[in-house]
Amino acid sequence: MKHLGVEPAHAGAGALVRLFHVSKSYLAGTWALRDVSLELGKGEFVFLTGPSGAGKTTLMRMIFADEQPSEGQIIVLGRNVSRLSPSAVPALRRRIGVVFQDFKLLSRRTVEENVGLALDVVGTPARERRARVFAMLKRVGLQHRRYHHPLSLSGGEQQRLAIARALVNDPEVLLADEPTGNLDPDLTLEIMDLIADAAARGTAVFVATHDHGLIERYGRRVVRLEGGELAEDTPIRRPLL
Amino acid sequence: MKHLGVEPAHAGAGALVRLFHVSKSYLAGTWALRDVSLELGKGEFVFLTGPSGAGKTTLMRMIFADEQPSEGQIIVLGRNVSRLSPSAVPALRRRIGVVFQDFKLLSRRTVEENVGLALDVVGTPARERRARVFAMLKRVGLQHRRYHHPLSLSGGEQQRLAIARALVNDPEVLLADEPTGNLDPDLTLEIMDLIADAAARGTAVFVATHDHGLIERYGRRVVRLEGGELAEDTPIRRPLL
Amino acid sequence: MSPRWLSRPRYFLRTAWSGLRESPVTGGISVVTIALCLLLVGSFALLVANMERILDRFGEEFRVSAYLEDNLTDADLARLRERVAAAPGVERVDLVTKEAALERFRASHIGRAALLDGMEDNPLPASLELVLAPEHRNADALERLAEAVDGFPGIAEFGYGADWVSGYHGAVALVRGVAMAIGAVLVLATLLIVTNTIRLAVYARRDEVSILRLVGGSRTFIAIPYLLEGAAQGLVGGLVGLALLFALFHLALPVFAGSLELLLGYVSPSFLEPRACAGLVAVGAGLGVLGSAAALGQGRLGE
Amino acid sequence: MSPRWLSRPRYFLRTAWSGLRESPVTGGISVVTIALCLLLVGSFALLVANMERILDRFGEEFRVSAYLEDNLTDADLARLRERVAAAPGVERVDLVTKEAALERFRASHIGRAALLDGMEDNPLPASLELVLAPEHRNADALERLAEAVDGFPGIAEFGYGADWVSGYHGAVALVRGVAMAIGAVLVLATLLIVTNTIRLAVYARRDEVSILRLVGGSRTFIAIPYLLEGAAQGLVGGLVGLALLFALFHLALPVFAGSLELLLGYVSPSFLEPRACAGLVAVGAGLGVLGSAAALGQGRLGE
Ligand SMILES: Nc1ncnc2c1ncn2[C@@H]1O[C@H](COP(=O)(O)OP(=O)(O)OP(=O)(O)O)[C@@H](O)[C@H]1O
Ligand SMILES: Nc1ncnc2c1ncn2[C@@H]1O[C@H](COP(=O)(O)OP(=O)(O)OP(=O)(O)O)[C@@H](O)[C@H]1O
Ligand SMILES: [Mg+2]
Ligand SMILES: [Mg+2]
């Protein structure tokens, strides 16, 4: 199953995300990521997989500038993340949608406000904001809960809320960390279709997942990490069904 | 696949957890749980499944007295949860292990202290505590991380930590809410074996999961909720493998 | 490059408002702390303001006597009075006639002794009492005045209690000094207390701030609602503190009215001026903003 | 039924210690707030304690003069002196001879006038000056004393300034009253401020408390480490506050030394007594515990 060294589908200058020999060490002497090189093009959909602690979340956090690489370079949307000034970070993040493994919802704001946040930070006019938030909530099946607070939602509902927030702003890059871990199989497919739609509209998508069924089903490019190292980078296959 | 009305395996007076016509409403007019009756015996292992928002977490929260039923009675370890005085709640909880869907780890304490907490609350002597915590951490593969803090763990590591805390005290009842949502398939089997072990030693186990592969593989009793109602209660089958 | 969201004050107001509404515990504690701190500072300001008036009142007792020769005509006296009034530092000149002097002497401590009883003639001279302007109530100015006045025809002797002069001067300096020292400590302490409390309140919501950063909120975008919240809490705290001060003042006044009247005669203590009141409330709002800014400033708000 | 964990103080100490270490922001803010509040209360206590001494010192000036007849023998005088000393409320009796009286008169304000220059005989009487015990420095006690002493042979007249008596009494009552009023406000305010700050600090860690509840921690099990933390913070805050007070006192003292000596002569301000210092620190620790208890008491610590 190993396809090391295979050229990624959308390599070259058009890539939205590029990692050059990236390493990351949180604790001296241990490597969370080790010499990872990778490219992700416009509209590309990649599954990121690997055992627990392999470095999937770490890789994503470096892409949206939440951590700096210890070695190597990361270019996201034309910007070198390690040389980004702190004041330039927000602007970059507004172009990236992130579904966090632990959701990171604002418990003091309503469902509607949590989703709207991604539009508020870019200053979308009120009317447009309202319409887009409502449409997004409808797509993840939470429109009837829009005036409630996240803490009164079930685990799966919170996860869908996190996905809605990441997608509402049509980001150029989408990083989804285990976005269906709390969802039942039917919902999982619905949500994955939503994410695939985004990719079809040009978003570069990274989905970290442990769900091999899902990977099989969608037959997209698969990047597998193991102990921080790139263990596999299988290019796109046709879906099985 | 529906087996409604089938007698559960360990019915009768020996049951550790009994629900009689339990309903729960958080918001007037909507039911998170509706007229659910259920029994769980010593050593029994039950998968709790159903779509997102079906009421799985709600059911568990009522068993460890974090919520009160709106209607019906819940008897846990011989105590009527709805009539429990607030001061009696801690004693009950110390006999129940819970893996929370969102982990609920203490971010200001180390991995070792988080697991030890379940022993501290019952006053286990220091020497025994140390030994049991170390053994437990080893079983979930976190012994090398024991002096770190939860926030520096990966999602799957945090989940294993939560499981270690729930199991370290050999609880009489174990409630595990989506305990493998962040784990890779290999780890998932290891952890499920750990949980099955506990059941074999007499713990009554509830595992909420969306993972149908897992349910198939273990072939245990399956309770399925749908929109808060008991949609299925399939008794034990032999494991497929 | 003006960011688009600057044109959306509604978002900030809405967010600040819902922040206040959703955090009654932390918000309430901030308001109470600000109110109490301003109550302390206000009480002190009130005390000092009234003490200044009392000191001024005592200062009026600060008189210099120019004892007159016995043979002055009314015209001489009037001329002399004018000249004395024009001397440096003199605010007012009062005439004490021979009869008034005797009256006073009899009423005085030492006068109780039967000292003058046997004399048929009044041996006490008339005098002019010079009330000095506040800035001249010190030993140096007095000496200058004495030099200026001493040679005037018609004045027999010039007298003032040197002890009383330096005593009064010392007392005023001491009271002002102690008041300033305590005031400085008080102001600094409340400043720190209030900003710390607000910092803690924002800190209790640090997860919120870190999430806002993660979804791409700029510093300003994140900060403005917290600063508005802080300002609102400070404003309310300031108003509550002022109300408390006012209530306490009017509750305490009758209790002390007796001793005050005895001590000060017509001087009755007054509340802070409207401008000082407004200042107090403004300080509250300022502290609220400052505290929020300090909290947001401390990096990622992580421990 | 004594729970097993009561036998494990180590767990509580360890947990409290790591709680302190892992929360430098909230802990530091609590300590600073306690220190500042105790500094305020301590400054005030210091001021009041020294003011009392100053008032006492002024009270010594509170004398009553018994003017003596001119023809008393030394034996008569000694007997009279003894009788007077035994009268109600008399603390000390000083003799002022005729010569001393003249000396004083010449030095006094009114004596500057050439009033007594012409007389060859000293017309002023000798007198006994009675210094009253502090509790008798009021008009009623004076009247009683006057009644008791008036009939004694050898006393010509009995004199005291009624204005001065009631003035002094009023001043003392006013200063004490204002001090008590401000002290009450100050103590209440700092009590609220400190407990609120600690509440906020515990509140910032409410997730911790709720998790401890979920894993079966009893009220006491959860509370003890927080109470220990509060006590430790209070203790440190108290010590820091005391040290600040001490430093400020010794910094401020030289600045005011001049005016103080002029005003008070030999009375020099002193720091709080050791017992008061210990009390201040104890109050800090108590406030820390109280604040933590208040925070834990508020239900589930949810907003
Ligand atoms: N902040 C941190 N400080 C120290 N170590 C960290 C930190 N974050 C992650 N690590 C370590 O780095 C390694 C990779 O973590 P990462 O979260 O990237 O794994 P992951 O692939 O996302 O795992 P999972 O599937 O369990 O979420 C792990 O061993 C983890 O313990
Ligand atoms: N505290 C609450 N307040 C109001 N509604 C709530 C609360 N907790 C849960 N609910 C609602 O009750 C229903 C059942 O929630 P529950 O968490 O039990 O679902 P679940 O089966 O665990 O779902 P998931 O698989 O998504 O975790 C959901 O519709 C949820 O929104
Ligand atoms: Mg991860
Ligand atoms: Mg759930």
Tell me phi and psi for residue B5, to 5 degrees: 80, -5
CB B202 within 8 A of CB B174: no
Question: C78 and C190 in one domain?
Answer: no
Q: Between the CA of residue B177 and those of A191, B70, B209, C103, C286, what are the distances in Å? A: 21, 22, 7, 99, 48
**Ligand 1 lined by A55 (C-beta under 6 Å):** yes
Give the closest residue to A204 by CA, choosing from A13, A9, A7, A16. A16
What span, in angstroms and rounded, lies between the C-alpha atoms of D182 and D176? 10
Looking at residue D2, its pLDDT comes to 47
Mean pLDDT of C197-221: 89
The distance of B157 to chain A (nearest Cα, Å) reads 7
pLDDT (tens digit per residue) in B21-49: 999 999 999 999 999 999 999 999 999 99
What span, in angstroms and rounded, lies between the C-alpha atoms of D149 and C17? 76
Looking at residue C302, its pLDDT comes to 38
Does pLDDT of D117 surpass 70? no
Answer whether B184 sits within 8 Å of A213, measured CB to CB. no
Residue A161 — very low, low, confident or very high, per pLDDT cuts 50/70/90? Answer: very high
Does pLDDT of C99 surpass 90? no
Question: D101 and D216 in one domain?
Answer: no
pLDDT mean across residues, chain A: 91
Report yes or no on D48 lying in a domain.
yes
- The single-letter code of the amino acid at D50 is N
Mean pLDDT of C238-262: 84
Q: Which of A53-57, C4-8, C141-145 has the highest mean pLDDT?
A: A53-57
Q: Which of A57-66, C126-135, D145-154, D222-231 has the highest mean pLDDT?
A: A57-66
Question: D94 and D235 in one domain?
Answer: no
Q: Out of A165-174, B11-20, D24-33, which region has the weakest mean confidence (pLDDT)?
A: B11-20
Looking at residue D203, its pLDDT comes to 84
Answer whether B210 sits within 8 Å of A26, measured CB to CB. no
Looking at residue C189, its pLDDT comes to 87
Report the number of distinct structural domains present in chain D: 2
Answer whether D3 touches B (CB < 8 Å).
yes
Question: D290 and D276 in one domain?
Answer: yes
Nearest CA in chain A to B208: A182
Looking at residue D106, its pLDDT comes to 65
CB A218 within 8 A of CB A44: no
Q: Out of B35-39, C282-286, D162-166, which region has the weakest mean confidence (pLDDT)?
A: D162-166
Share of chain C above pLDDT 90, in %: 20
Concatenated DSSP letters of chain B: ---TTPPPTT-STT-SEEEEEEEE-SSTT--SEEEEEEEE-TT-EEEEE-STTSSHHHHHHHHTTSS--SEEEEEETTEEGGG--GGGHHHHHTTEEEE-TT----TTS-HHHHHHHHHHTTT--HHHHHHHHHHHHHHTT-GGGTTS-GGGS-HHHHHHHHHHHHHTT--SEEEEESTTTTS-HHHHHHHHHHHHHHHHTT-EEEEE---HHHHHHH--EEEEEETTEEEEEE-------
Report yes or no on C115 lying in a domain.
yes
The residue out of C136, C155, C183 marking a domain boundary is C136
Question: D180 and D227 in one domain?
Answer: yes
Answer whether B210 touches D (CB < 8 Å).
no
Report yes or no on C255 lying in a domain.
yes
Answer whether A181 touches B (CB < 8 Å).
yes
Name all chains with 3 or more CB-CB pairs below 8 Å to chain B: A, D
Question: D51 and D188 in one domain?
Answer: yes
Q: Which of C203, C210, C260, C267 to mutate to test the interface with D (most CBs of D within 10 A)?
A: C203
Does pLDDT of D116 surpass 60? no
Residue A5 — very low, low, confident or very high, per pLDDT cuts 50/70/90? Answer: very low
Domain parsing of chain A, residue ranges? 1-95+174-241, 104-170
Q: Out of C209-218, C264-273, D219-228, which region has the weakest mean confidence (pLDDT)?
A: C264-273
CB D87 within 8 A of CB D149: yes
Does pLDDT of D254 surpass 90? no
For chain C positions 220-259, those within 8 Å of chain A (CB to CB) are 221
Residue A129 — very low, low, confident or very high, per pLDDT cuts 50/70/90? Answer: very high
Strand, helix or coil for residue D217: coil
Mean pLDDT of D73-85: 84
The contacts found for D102-108 with CB under 8 angstroms, 24 or more apart, are D105/C110, D108/C110, D108/C161
The distance of B228 to chain A (nearest Cα, Å) reads 12
Cα of B26 from ligand 2 centre, angstroms: 9
What span, in angstroms and rounded, lies between the C-alpha atoms of C63 and C158? 11
In a mutational test of the pocket of ligand 2, which residue from A137, A149, A152, A154 has the highest number of ligand atoms less than 8 Å from its CB? A154
Range of the domain at D67: 63-136
Question: D68 and D52 in one domain?
Answer: no
Question: D227 and D94 in one domain?
Answer: no
Nearest CA in chain A to B185: A210
Q: Which of A31, A99, A159, A184 to mutate to test the interface with B (most CBs of B within 10 A)?
A: A184
Looking at residue C131, its pLDDT comes to 78
Output the furthest CA–CA distance in chain D (Å, rounded).
102
What span, in angstroms and rounded, lies between the C-alpha atoms of B39 and B230? 13
Give the closest residue to A124 by CA, choosing from C8, D3, B78. C8
Give the closest residue to C148 by CA, choosing from C86, C96, C76. C86
Q: Between the CA of residue C231 and those of C12, C34, C205, what are the distances in Å? A: 13, 11, 17
Q: Out of A160-164, B53-57, B224-228, D41-45, which region has the weakest mean confidence (pLDDT)?
A: D41-45
Looking at residue B8, its pLDDT comes to 43
Does pLDDT of C174 surpass 80? no
Cα of B148 from ligand 4 centre, angstroms: 28
Please report, for the domain that includes residue C106, its CATH number. Answer: 3.30.70.3040
**Ligand 2 lined by A187 (C-beta under 6 Å):** no
Answer whether D204 sits within 8 Å of C200, measured CB to CB. yes
Does pLDDT of C3 surpass 60? no
Question: C184 and C249 in one domain?
Answer: yes
Looking at residue A4, its pLDDT comes to 39
What span, in angstroms and rounded, lies between the C-alpha atoms of A118 and A168? 7
Question: D259 and D172 in one domain?
Answer: yes
Give me the residues paired with residue A234 across strands: A222
Report yes or no on C246 lying in a domain.
yes
CB atoms within 10 A of CB A216: 13
Residue C271, Cβ density class (10 Å: 0-12 exposed, 13-18 middle, ≥19 buried): middle
Answer whether D200 sits within 8 Å of C26, measured CB to CB. yes
Mean pLDDT of B61-69: 96
Answer whether B177 touches A (CB < 8 Å).
yes
CB A38 within 8 A of CB A74: no
pLDDT mean across residues, chain B: 91
pLDDT (tens digit per residue) in A177-208: 999 999 999 999 999 999 999 999 999 999 99
Mean pLDDT of C69-96: 83
Looking at residue C111, its pLDDT comes to 47
Strand, helix or coil for residue A20: strand
Mean pLDDT of B99-108: 95
Report yes or no on D33 lying in a domain.
yes
In our burial notation (b when 16+ CB lie closer than 10 A, e otherwise), range C203-241 reads: bbbbebbebbbbbbbbeebbbbbbbbbbbbbbbbbbbbb
Does pLDDT of D303 surpass 60? no
**Ligand 2 lined by B57 (C-beta under 6 Å):** yes
Residue C106 — very low, low, confident or very high, per pLDDT cuts 50/70/90? Answer: low
**Ligand 2 lined by B26 (C-beta under 6 Å):** yes
Residue owning the nearest CA to atom 22 of ligand 1: A57
Answer whether B121 sits within 8 Å of D211, measured CB to CB. no
Q: Which fold has domain B1-95+174-241?
A: Rossmann fold (3.40.50)
Nearest CA in chain D to B105: D211
Question: C201 and C70 in one domain?
Answer: no
Report yes or no on D156 lying in a domain.
no
Residue owning the nearest CA to atom 29 of ligand 2: B53
If one compares D5 and C202, the residue with the highest pLDDT of the two is: C202
Residue D117, Cβ density class (10 Å: 0-12 exposed, 13-18 middle, ≥19 buried): exposed
Does pLDDT of D274 surpass 90? yes
If one compares A95 and B237, the residue with the highest pLDDT of the two is: A95
ipTM of the complex: 0.84
CB atoms within 10 A of CB B196: 17
Percent of residues in chain A assigned helix, strand, coil, to nearest 5: 35, 25, 40
Looking at residue D191, its pLDDT comes to 84
CB neighbours of C228 closer than 8 A, spacing ≥ 6? C12, C13, C16
Looking at residue D66, its pLDDT comes to 79
Answer whether C5 sits within 8 Å of A120, measured CB to CB. yes
Does pLDDT of D63 surpass 80? no
Answer whether B101 touches A (CB < 8 Å).
yes
Mean pLDDT of D100-110: 66
Strand, helix or coil for residue A52: coil
Q: Cα angle at C29 between C23 and C31, to 5 degrees?
A: 95
Instruction: Report residue B192 CA to chain centroid gap.
Output: 12
If one compares D157 and C275, the residue with the highest pLDDT of the two is: C275
In chain B, what residues touch A155 (CB-CB under 8 Å)?
52, 57, 101-102, 177-178
Question: C271 and C179 in one domain?
Answer: yes
Share of chain C above pLDDT 70, in %: 78
